[in-house]
Amino acid sequence: MTACRGAKICDAVQELEFFLLEYYRLLWCGQPDERAVEEMRTFATFSIVFFAALLGSGRVELAQKPGLEVPLVTPGPGWKSCPRCENEAHVAEDRRKANVDTHPFDPHDISGVWGDNGIELDLKTLPPFTPYGQKLYDATKSDSPEWNSKDPMNICDPLGYPRVFAYNYGMEFIQLPDRALQFFELSHTWRTIWTDGRKLPANPPILRYMGYSVGHWEGDTFMVEANGFEDRSWVSEDRRGRRHGFPHTSEMRVVESYKRLDYGRLQATLTVIDPKVYTQPWVTTGIATLRPNAEIGEYMCVPSDSIDFNNKNTLPADAATTK
């Protein structure tokens, strides 16, 4: 362990290395090969040294988190930054200036830009797969050890719902008299939630990546139901190793509730119901925070750019495509 410079760091590296190797065995059900061991060892070393630097020394330039000294990049006067175009210090400053904790609010007004990413689906509440669900899940396994080769995002296929709930780079709620819109920064796309009293289609004439959605208020909670989902999208990528995606069928239903806890916080609960794939409903609860000084930008997933990126930086040379 030549990278070790102190006993405590050495111990920490060894502990993390042990954890990573156990994690590897769990995920891939086998002994890691030499290369994997070496990668995890160096990763463990780096991580611990990095965190030690973060914790231990203000003189380590790498350890400094970007703060208010970083100029805010906007298109010009009157324009705001996109949700991810501000660092944490600027976000905190914006929220302080807007008095988000004490600002009066209407519980039936959930409009605004929320978060700089979505709410990840809760792996702790992931129900067991049905046998058919397991088969679908297995089919999403990456062909490559280097990335998830089957992720529809690689070539900018639509993320669909609820993946874009879980991973969106910021979401704006817009309320109109007969509908609510969710505008997502990632992919620069939106979802319409009809509030004019219509019911979900019993037999959707065509499947939609964003589904068919209707909403209504129950007290101070905005309830949303959706169906008719295109089954080529994933519910979410599986972040445990990034080798799979969570599948769904076209019979998936999604039920959501949104409640404004105060001016600055929106509590969301999302339930995925797909008995063909999951033995129980899959429930995720999280809180999105208001971004008072941000506006949705334009994070497009551009197929030609993504293919170029894959060729330059992800695919091995002999697998790169020139398309």
Partner 1 sequence: MLRPTLLITVMVALVAFPILNTPVVAHHGTALWSANEITLKGTVVEYVWRNPHALVIWDVKDDKGNVVQWTGELASPETLMGDGGMTKNSVIDQIKRADGTMVLRWSRQAGGTDEERAARDRAREARDAEGNKAKN
> Of residues 140, 154, 195, 213, which one binds partner 1 by CB under 8 A?
154
- Compute the distance between CA of residue 184 and CA of residue 93 in angstroms, rounded to an integer: 23
Min. distance of Cβ 200 from partner 1 in angstroms? Answer: 29
Ranges within 89-108 binding partner 1 (CB under 8 A): 90
Ranges within 160-179 binding partner 1 (CB under 8 A): 167, 169
Number of residues that bind partner 1 (CB under 8 A): 59
- Does residue 289 belong to the site contacting partner 1 (CB under 8 A)? no
Q: Which string of x and - marks every residue 185-224 that binds partner 1 (by CB under 8 A)?
A: ----------------------------------------
In this complex, which beta carbon is closest to partner 1, that of residue 255 or of residue 300? Answer: 300
Ranges within 25-64 binding partner 1 (CB under 8 A): 29-31, 33, 35, 39, 42-43, 45-47, 50, 61-62
- Compute the distance between CA of residue 21 and CA of residue 39 in angstroms, rounded to an integer: 10
> Of residues 199, 316, 321, 322, which one binds partner 1 by CB under 8 A?
316
Pairing between β-strand 221-227 and β-strand 212-218 as defined by DSSP bridges: antiparallel
| 224 neighbors 257 (Cβ within 8 angstroms) | yes
Q: What is the DSSP string of 86-102?
A: S-HHHHHHHHHHTTTTT
Give ∠ CA 116-236-40 in degrees, rounded to 5. 85
Min. distance of Cβ 255 from partner 1 in angstroms? Answer: 24
- Compute the distance between CA of residue 323 and CA of residue 321 in angstroms, rounded to an integer: 5
Q: What is the DSSP string of 25-61?
A: HHHHSS---HHHHHHHHHHHHHHHHHHHHHHH-TT-G
Residue 278 backbone phi and psi in degrees, to 5: -115, 135
Ranges within 70-89 binding partner 1 (CB under 8 A): 70-73, 81-82, 84-87
3-state secondary structure of 111: coil
Ranges within 232-251 binding partner 1 (CB under 8 A): 237, 239, 241-243
- Compute the distance between CA of residue 209 and CA of residue 194 in angstroms, rounded to an integer: 16
Q: Which stretch binds partner 1 (CB under 8 A): 4-12, 147-155, 172-180, 189-197?
A: 147-155
| 212 neighbors 228 (Cβ within 8 angstroms) | yes
- Compute the distance between CA of residue 244 and CA of residue 110 in angstroms, rounded to an integer: 34
Which positions touch partner 1 (CB under 8 A)? 29-31, 33, 35, 39, 42-43, 45-47, 50, 61-62, 66, 70-73, 81-82, 84-87, 90, 117, 120, 142, 145-148, 151, 153-154, 167, 169, 237, 239, 241-243, 297, 299-302, 305-306, 308-309, 312-314, 316-319
